[in-house]
DNA sequence: CCTCCGAGTTGAACGCGTTCAACTTCTACT
DNA sequence: AGTAGAAGTTGAACGCGTTCAACTCGGAGG
């Protein structure tokens, strides 16, 4: 399989299964190195923004070669995935703590979302890029991508706790997919936050304070017979369309 | 792409006074040239997708130099703006026609959305890129950008007609912001459509058929006293947060 | 005729993300 | 110790979007 290096003709791609950084074996030193590169990248992203930070700058600052950065991360985007993981982890801890004193569903939800804003705020400068990539179905950063599933599941689990720890009485039939609904509400808030230019995301916080009680009120409505069919159908819809359930295999 | 290059100057009429991209003087020959480049670009986007189509390929295919393409369009993204305008214009015509026979709000909404899918379907291959850019607040492609306002207003106007032509009885207080709500529903459908991999967007159409009646049902609910406060608050929320209201910016 | 000027046009060049063949270092096993 | 092979590392090179100094062209004024 010897191809002349200068004639780079033909379709190179379509081999989508790049097993570069996946669960491959990394030595202890490799783990260190990977962390070093990631930390450097996030620091530069925070300081200069995502687009203005070059892979060459990251490599130089971390004291490695460009190629080496690519040995640990498949792409520049993958570095953002790591950022998202980090934010998510911090969010989980903070959210569970801050919602603990509350029993009211709206209050718990608001605490949850405020916790997210607290954690994510330092990175707002380059969060745009995250959302931009998240919206691309082919990106590993897509919320529906296999790569994102573990993180996403963890976040949804938080929303489950929001519901479970509350004193709200909820139609058990819709209770199960409620966390996913709340997750979507969360995503909406995130989208607003990305656009938000007010200092300290004050406007997003205001939005949270006003939507959280509303969401709680809507959920409380589900007990009434008049609207129950509507809720059932909405629930079914969400299950059918938004939750992939079990997609057998993508590349195997 | 049924319209020949001649149609380029006609239908928009709204120059928006945007001095953004070469709003400078263009000779007759310049207009032709610009249209030629645009048509070539859209054709290649449709054939090969957005990312795989290079500016060099567009230039070569159109018989001009790369630099010349940049003389008429500030960036590759700006070519997509043109695509969005075109889709919107066709959608408006088709939607108004196809919803005319219906009086039921759900049916009218479904007709509207199906019309959009019909028009946009050929471009699904590179629609991802549009959404990706649309989500960037700094992009001229953002739905909230001044550049997009004329197009967006036209689309929202269609949604106003959806409501006005129906026999639904709606709390007048919420009726006014209803078009914007429907527009957001539309955006949600678009987002799903971008992810949709089913042939002919069948799954998105299914989603439309199921959500449109639901939306209509929710709107019908607004008459009931029990939920009216909730609707009022939701309405106020939308006004306060999602509609910029009075931006004293363009074209006095 | 020539000159001037600005719209139109060019392609080499820049900086970017990414790839790759070749190289070095470490680990495991004989 | 020796050695195979995996893990780690390198920088030049590729193709991309974009920029820019220099060019051509056409018509208005002398």
Spatial contact of B159 and B182, defined as CB atoms under 8 Å apart: yes
* Å between B89 CA and nearest CA of chain A: 25
- The pLDDT score that the predictor gives to residue B76 is 94
Of the pLDDT bands very low, low, confident and very high (cuts 50, 70, 90), residue A244 is low
A249 pLDDT exceeds 70? Answer: no
Angstrom distance (rounded) from CA B25 to CA B45: 28
Which distant-in-sequence residues (6+ apart) come within 8 Å of A34 by Cβ? A26, A72, A73
Q: Is the pLDDT of residue A72 over 90?
A: yes
- Locate the domains of chain A by residue range: 28-74, 77-242
The 10s digit of each residue's pLDDT in A74-108 is 999 999 888 888 889 999 999 999 999 999 999 99
Q: State yes or no: pLDDT of A145 exceeds 90.
A: no
Give the right CATH number for B28-74 from 3.30.565.10, 1.10.10.60, 3.10.20.30, 3.40.50.1000: 1.10.10.60
pTM of the model: 0.80
Closest CA of chain A from B230, distance in Å: 7
The pLDDT score that the predictor gives to residue A236 is 87
Q: How far is the CA of A57 from the C1' of C16 (A)?
A: 11
- Does A126 score more than 60 pLDDT? yes
pLDDT in tens, B38-66: 999 999 998 998 999 999 999 999 999 99
Equal CATH topology for A28-74 and A77-242:
no
Q: Is the pLDDT assigned to residue A12 strictly greater than 50? A: no
Q: Please list every residue in chain A whose beta carbon sits closer than 8 Å to the beta carbon of residue B139.
A: none
Residue B210 is nearest to which of A191, A211, A237, comparing CB atoms?
A: A237
CA distance B133 to chain A (A): 7
CA-to-CA distance for B234 and B217, rounded, in angstroms?
Answer: 16
Which pLDDT score is estimated for B191? Answer: 85
Instruction: Test B138 with A128 for CB contact under 8 angstroms.
Output: yes
Query: Residue A26, CB, less than 7 Å from strand D?
Result: yes
b/e code B156-175 from CB counts within 10 Å (16+ = b): bebbbbbbeebebebbeebb
DSSP code at position B227: T
Comparison of pLDDT for A27 and A47, the residue scoring more? A47
pLDDT of residue A24: 62
Q: Which residue of A has its CA nearest to B129?
A: A136
Confirm if A242 and A184 have CB atoms less than 8 A apart.
yes
Which residues in chain B land under pLDDT 50? 1-22, 245-252
Mean pLDDT of A128-154: 78
Overall CATH class of domain A77-242: mainly alpha
Q: For residues B67 and B216, give the distance between their C-alpha atoms in angstroms, rounded to a whole number.
A: 51
Model confidence pLDDT, tens digit, residues A188-215? 899 889 888 899 999 999 999 999 999 9
Q: How far apart are CA A166 and CA B225, in angstroms?
A: 27
Question: How does residue A122 score in pLDDT terms, banded at 50, 70 and 90?
Answer: confident
């Amino acid at each position: 399989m010897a191809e002349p290096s200068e004639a780079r003709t033909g379709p190179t791609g379509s081999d989508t299964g790049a097993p570069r950084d996946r669960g491959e074996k990394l030595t202890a030193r490799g783990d260190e190195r990977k962390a070093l590169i990631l930390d450097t990248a996030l620091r530069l992203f925070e300081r200069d923004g995502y687009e203005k930070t070059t892979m060459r700058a990251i490599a130089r600052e971390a004291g490695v070669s460009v190629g080496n950065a690519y040995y640990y991360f498949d792409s520049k985007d993958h570095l953002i995935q790591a950022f998202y993981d980090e934010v998510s982890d911090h969010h989980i801890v903070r959210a569970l703590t801050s919602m603990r004193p509350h029993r009211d569903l709206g209050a718990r939800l608001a605490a949850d979302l405020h916790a997210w804003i607290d954690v994510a705020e330092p990175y707002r400068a380059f969060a745009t890029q995250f959302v931009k990539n998240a919206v691309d179905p082919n990106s590993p950063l897509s919320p529906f991508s296999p790569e994102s599933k573990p993180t996403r599941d963890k976040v949804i689990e938080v929303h489950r706790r929001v519901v479970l720890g509350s004193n709200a009485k909820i139609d058990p039939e819709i209770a199960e997919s409620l966390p996913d609904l709340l997750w979507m509400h969360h995503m909406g808030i995130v989208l607003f936050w990305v656009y938000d230019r007010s200092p300290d995301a004050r406007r997003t916080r205001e939005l949270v304070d006003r939507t959280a009680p509303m969401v709680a009120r809507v959920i409380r409505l589900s007990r009434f017979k008049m609207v129950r069919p509507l809720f059932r159908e909405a629930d079914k819809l969400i299950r059918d369309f938004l939750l992939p359930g079990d997609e057998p295999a993508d590349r195997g």
